[in-house]
Amino acid sequence: MRSKIVAGNWKMNKNLPETEALLTELAAKLPDTQAEVMVAPTYVNLASAVRTLDSSVIEVIAQNMHFAESGAYTGEISADMLLSIGVDTAIIGHSERRAYFGETDEILAKKVVTALGKNIRVMFCFGEELEDRKSDNHFNVVESQLKNALFSLEASAWSKIVLAYEPVWAIGTGETASADQAQEMHAFIRKTITEAYDATIANNVSILYGGSVKPGNAGEIFGKPDVDGGLIGGAALVADDFVAIIKAI
């Protein structure tokens, strides 16, 4: 059975006092939910976030991690470093990492292998750009992103993977994929995984939607049968909005 998940990707927002204030407010306002609730603050505040949420069910996850176990990679963060502060889930492949930091499918495949080797759960992000959708190439793009980064994995690895479909044209733009567009792509993703592996794996993997999810549209998007939750950017930075999105699931 796949789980429902609402995760907040804070990106490069919130300094230390702001992080503690938002986490404290979120923990206090967290509604009763069957869904897993996760937040991804910036690296420098991860350890303190883990402490702040010590007695909360909200899980702290990382926005990124490096593929090497250790070594001369100035500015980077390893799987062991995350595990040592109590973080055991990492977002990998966010479109901003791909666009601004040159992360290719090949690099992402290495990150996924390293993470899984360390027993870190991977929240793998992917999604097409606007030109891909306009040229009706979005299914091909998504299929190749999945194939290049994930389809060499053994079947057993999939129990540690969460997928987050984030069409680039919907991120931070206020333009959301319609609930029907999200459902259509999520169903396609499950079909693609069924073909590469089998229906059990496809049906057990949680597939989140990300891209301008707000309190006003979350219910309709989450209501679709193949949408298992959301990866939330801007709206995760406001406690009441994030709480409203959690309530929508």
Ligand X SMILES: O=C(CO)COP(=O)(O)O
Name the residues annotated as catalytic: 94, 166
Residue 213 CB, shortest distance to ligand X, in Å, is: 5
Q: Among 53-61, 104-112, 141-149, 230-238, which window interacts with ligand X (CB under 6 A)?
A: 230-238
Query: How near is the Cβ of 70 to ligand X at its closest, in Å?
Result: 27
Q: Does 9 engage in binding with ligand X (CB under 6 A)?
A: yes
Among 211, 241, 244, 245, binds ligand X (CB under 6 A): 211
Q: Which is nearer to ligand X, 11 or 224 (CB)?
A: 11
Is residue 89 within the footprint of ligand X (CB under 6 A)?
no
Nearer Cβ to ligand X (94/98)? 94
Minimum CB separation of residue 132 from ligand X in Å reads: 17
Q: Binding to ligand X by residue 145, rule CB under 6 A?
A: no
Q: CA-to-CA distance for 54 and 77, rounded, in angstroms?
A: 22
Cβ atoms 8, 39 nearer than 8 A:
yes
Q: In angstroms, what is the minimal distance from the CB of 97 to ligand X? A: 10
Residue whose entry in the numeric block shows the structure tokens 């055991």: 88
Q: Pick from 103, 132, 166, 241: which binds ligand X (CB under 6 A)?
A: 166
Residues that bind ligand X (CB under 6 A): 9, 94, 166, 171-172, 210-213, 231-235
